[in-house]
Structure 1
Amino acid sequence: MPYRGPYCYRKWQFRRQRLLRIVVMILNPAHLHRLCVHVMKKAPTAVLTGKTELFTQSGIGVPNPKLETDAQKNFSAVRAATVVAQRNLLETIQGIQITSNTTVESGIAQNDTIVTRLEGTLKRSQAIGKPSFLNDGSVSVVVRYFMSDLNALLVSRDPYGASSGSKSQGPDPYGKKSGVYEPKSAGGNSPNKEMPVSSAQGGTYSGLIVDARGLNIKPALSPKVLDGEGNVVYGVERTDRSFNISQGIVGYAKNPESAKNNTRIKGNPLTVKAVKASGNASTDVVVSKEDSENLLSLYESQSFLREGRVIVLVD
C-alpha cells in the first residue's frame, strides 16, 4: 500500500487487524482462549477446483492439556484446528486478485464494505468430512469456501474500480460510454449490420472460449476482455448480477476439450484467440478488432455473454 500519511496508514492497519480477527470472532471469542490455548499452524494449501469451484484450506490444532476428559481435549483440538484453517483461508483470500489493479487485501483499504461482506462469507465456510486425529494427539481439519461467496463481493457494479484500467472516452461510432461499449439508440447505425459474424451466420452459441494460452494470464474474480484500444468488450459491467454471484465473471481451464465439455459453455461455444495480456497483474485479455466487433454483435443478438458463459484458456 502506498504511504499516504500517518492517518491513512493507521486506518489501513486498523482495517487489516479487524479482518484478521474475523475468524476468531466466528468461534465464540469469550471462551476461545480457554478451549484453544495451544494452536499449531499449517502452511496454506488452498486449491481452486474447476469442477466444484471452491477453495479448501487445512489447519492443525492440539488439545488443551488443562482440560480433564478426552472428549474435552478432542473438542478443543478440533476447535483450534478449525480456527487455524479459517485463518489460513482468510490469508489466501486476501491475496486473490479481484481486478488487474486490486487484490482483496488492497480492496480492504479502499472499501469498508468488503470487511463486512467477508465476515458473512467466512462464517459460512464449512468443514469437509470428519476431523483427522493424528498419532501425536493433534487434529487436522479441512474447511471449504465456495467461489460464489467471493463472487457475491462483486454484486455491486465495479465496487473496486474494475473498469479503472480501461480506456474512458466520449461518444464514438459504437456509442461506448466510460470505456464500455453500449448499443446505439433506435434509428442509429446499429453495429449488428456491419459485423462479420451474426447469429444467422455463426449459429446460436452456448458460450465463449478465449484462448489466452502463452500470454501468462493470471486468474482474477473480475477480469475483462478488451479491444485493442483498451475499451471493455466483456466484463462485470456487461453481465447479469445473478450470474456473477452464482458462477463468476469467467471460468478458467487449461485444456480445450475440458473447456468445451464444461457445463458453463457446453454445446456450441465460440472460440476467439487473445492477442495479448493487459493490466498491472495481467488478468485482462485483449482480442483483435474483428473479434471484438463479433462479440459486440453477439452481445446484442444472443444471451451467453450477459449470462457470463465465458471460459479463458490459460497455461
Structure 2
Amino acid sequence: MKSQCKSVVTIIVGAMFLFAGMGFCQEGSEGKGGSAEWTKVIDSKVSEKIGDKGLVNFEEGYIEAVGIGAPPEQFYGKPQARPMALRAAQVDAYRNLLETVQGVQIDSATTVKDFVVESDVINAKVSGLVKGAAVMNKTYLSDGTVEVTVRMPLSGLAKAVIPQAIADDKKTDMKEHKPVPFSKKPAPADEVYTGLVIDARGFQARPAISPKIFDENGAEVYGTLIVKREYAIQQGISGYARDLTSAQSNPRVTDNPITVKAISAEGVGKTDFKISNEDAKNIRAAKQNLTFLQKCRVMIVLD
C-alpha cells in the first residue's frame, strides 16, 4: 500500500508540472489565504493545523496547504529563476495538500489516510480533489523563493468519504451503540425544534467529518447510524462554530434549535460527545426531532 500512496504523489506532482502557471492570482497580489493568515483563522474559527504546512478550516469548509520553491542555484539572477521557483512551489504545495488531506479526522479513530489505503475508489477520488485545488495566493520572497497556497473545499472530501464511513459504522457500531427508538408522537406546539446544537466547549475536543453523539449508556443519539445518507453526503454530518449564538442562528439548524450541553468528549481523537440521559430522552421525545437529525441539522460548538 505504501507504493500505492507514493504513486498518488507522483501522479499529482507530475500533473502540477504540466499545469504550472495556470490559475494563479495576478502577479504582485497577495491573493487570498496563505500561511500568514493561519494564526488568525485558528484563533477565530473551528480549525486546526495538520503538520506545519496544512490547515483545515471546519467552520468555513476548506483545506489549505502551502509550498515553498526555489530555483536551482545555477539559475539565480537569471530570467528563468522566477518561473522555476514558482513551479517548484506549486508542486510542493500540492504535495503538502495531499499530506494534509490524509491527516483529516473522519471520526475519533480514523483519518482519511486510513480510507485511502483501504480503498482504491477513495484513493482516486482524493487524488482528483487534490489535483483540482485552486491556487489562492503566491508570494515572491526577497531571497528568490516563492510561497504558494492552494485550497480545496472540505465538502468535496466529505462527499468522498462519508458513504464509506456510514457503511463501516452500520457494520461495526450497531451492537455497542445501537440507537434507542425515537417517540412516534408529535411534539407539543411549544416544543417543536428545527435542529440540534451541541455545546461541547471546555473539553479540548476536536472537529471531524463524522462526529457522533452518545447518551450515558453509549447509545448513539446522533451520527452515522441516524443520518440519512443523501443528506450527509450533500451537506456533511454537522457544522461547527466557536460561538454559541452563531451556532444557534446558523441556517443549518434554522430558527428554533434545541441546545444541549455535552458532558464529555469521547474517543481517541476526542471528536465524539456524550450528553446526559435526560437530554437524550428529550431529544428522542418527538418524531420531528428524528426528522431533523436525519437531515443533518446539527451544529457543534467547540473552543
Q: TM-score range by the shorter chain?
A: 0.7 to 0.9
Which fold has the larger relative contact order, with Cα–Cα distance below 8 Å and residues 6 or more apart in sequence?
Answer: 2
Q: Which amino acid letter does the alignment assign opposite residue 150 of structure 1?
A: L
- 1:307 equivalent to 2:295? Answer yes
Q: For 2:119, which of 111, 123, 134 is the aligned residue?
A: 111
Q: Provide TM-score, normalisation by structure 2.
A: 0.77
How far is the alpha carbon of 1:67 from its aligned partner? 10
Q: What letter is aligned with 2:84? A: S
Superposed, which structure 2 residues align to 1:35-54 within 5 Å? 43-48=52-57, 50=59, 52-54=60-62
What is the deviation of 1:53?
Answer: 1.3
Q: Which structure would you say has the larger Rg?
A: 1
Q: CA RMSD in A?
A: 3.1
Gaps of 5+ in 1: 1-11, 32-41, 170-177, 184-190
Q: What is the CA distance between 1:49 and its match in structure 2?
A: 5.5
Aligned residue for 2:231?
243
AA aligned opposite 2:16: L
Structure 1 distance, partners of 2:188, 2:117, is 44
Corresponding residue SS for 2:82: helix
| 2:281 pairs with 1:274 | no
Change (3 A) 1:218 1:47: closer
The answer as to whether partners of 2:193 and 2:258 remain within 8 angstroms in 1 is no
Q: Which residue of 2 aligns with 1:18?
A: 7
Alpha-carbon distance in 2 for matches of 1:275, 1:92: 30
The verdict on how the C-alpha distance between 1:54 and 1:164 changes in structure 2, with shifts beyond 3 A counting, is same
Code of the residue aligned with 1:210 in structure 2: it is: I
TM-score (normalised: structure 1): 0.74
CA distance in 2, matches of 1:68, 1:134: 14
Contact 1:59 1:141 in 2 (8 A): yes
Matched pairs, number: 272
- Which of residues 126, 132, 137 is equivalent to 2:139? 132
User: C-alpha distance in 1, partners of 2:235/2:136?
Assistant: 21
Judged with a 3 Å threshold, the aligned counterparts in structure 2 of structure 1 residues 17 and 258 are, in CA distance, closer, same or farther, namely same
Change (3 A) 1:135 1:67: closer
Distance 1:230 1:22, change over 3 A: farther
CA contact (8 A) 2:16 2:90 kept: no
Please list the CA deviations of residues 150-197 of structure 1 after superposition, one character each: whole Å capped at 9, or x if unmatched.
11123425357345774516xxxxxxxx724566xxxxxxx234xxx9
> Structure 1 residues 15 and 202, CA, compared in 2 at 3 Å: closer, same or farther?
same
Instruction: Work out the CA distance in 2 between the residues paired with 1:142 and 1:86.
Output: 9
Letter aligned with residue 178 of structure 2: G
CA distance, structure 1, for counterparts of residue 175 and residue 290 of structure 2 = 26
Letter in 2 for 1:290: E
- Indicate whether 1:121 and 2:129 are aligned: yes
SS in 1 for 2:284: helix
Q: Which residue number in structure 2 is paired with residue 38 of structure 1?
A: none
Alpha-carbon separation, structure 2, partners of 1:211 and 1:21: 43
Tell me whether 1:92 sits opposite 2:91 in the alignment.
no
Instruction: Say if 1:98 and 1:22 are closer, same or farther in 2 by CA, change over 3 A.
Output: farther
Distance 1:30 1:270 in 2: 48
Sort the Cα spacing of 1:211 and 1:79 in 2 relative to 1 into closer, same or farther, 3 A.
same
Aligned counterparts, 1:1-315, within 5 A:
12-28=1-17, 43-48=52-57, 50=59, 52-64=60-72, 65=74, 70=79, 72-129=80-137, 131-158=138-165, 161-162=168-169, 166=173, 168=175, 179-181=178-180, 191-193=183-185, 198=187, 200-205=189-194, 207-298=195-286, 300=288, 303-315=291-303
In terms of fraction of residues, the more helix-rich structure is 2
Task: Give 1:274 shift.
Answer: 1.5
